[in-house]
């Protein structure tokens, strides 16, 4: 078997490793208010949908119109960023802004498709 001193060193290393893992969990655990985050996403999406209906001219490129719509909903997007990431990580802000533009473009495309489908039925 192992000498007693080697067993003690192995136990000390194992205990230190487990303790360090436990402290790392505390670094990444955040208590985010899920209701506030969900509400911020809902507010952002509602703004995007409503703004598409209000400003889409049907002629502008879908991606450009999506960017305009996202810029128009800047307050809701900023509120979403602040609610989702209170630490102010710029990567999170960039990803949420990119997602907002992507969603806005999708709403533009769907809105135009629905309008063309209604026009064809008449």
- Give the pLDDT of residue 118: 85
52 and 36 in a common domain: yes
Q: Identify the CA nearest to 52 among candidates 4, 118, 113, 6.
A: 113
Predicted pLDDT of residue 30 = 60
Which position has the higher pLDDT, 67 or 3? 67
Residues 42 and 88 in one domain: yes
Number of domain units in the chain: 2
CA distance 36 to 20: 32
* C-beta contacts of 53-60 below 8 A and 24+ residues apart: 53/111, 56/108, 56/111, 56/112, 58/112, 58/115
Same domain, 61 and 81: yes
To which residue do tokens 């990580």 refer? 89
Encode pLDDT of 26-78 as tens digits.
455 566 678 899 999 999 999 999 999 999 999 999 999 999 999 999 999 99
* pLDDT at 119 (0 to 100): 75
Q: Do residue 44 and residue 57 come from a single domain?
A: yes
């Amino acid at each position: 078997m192992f000498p007693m001193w080697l067993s003690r060193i192995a136990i000390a290393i194992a205990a230190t490793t487990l303790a360090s893992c436990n402290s790392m969990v505390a670094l990444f655990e955040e208590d985010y208010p899920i209701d506030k985050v969900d509400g911020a996403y809902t507010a952002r999406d509602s703004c995007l949908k409503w703004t598409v209906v209000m400003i889409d001219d049907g002629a502008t490129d879908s991606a450009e119109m999506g960017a305009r719509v996202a810029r128009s909903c800047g307050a809701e997007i900023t509120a979403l960023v602040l609610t989702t990431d209170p630490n102010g990580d710029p990567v999170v802000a960039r990803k949420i802004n990119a997602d907002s533009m992507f969603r806005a473009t999708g709403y533009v495309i769907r809105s135009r498709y629905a309008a063309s489908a209604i026009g064809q039925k008449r």
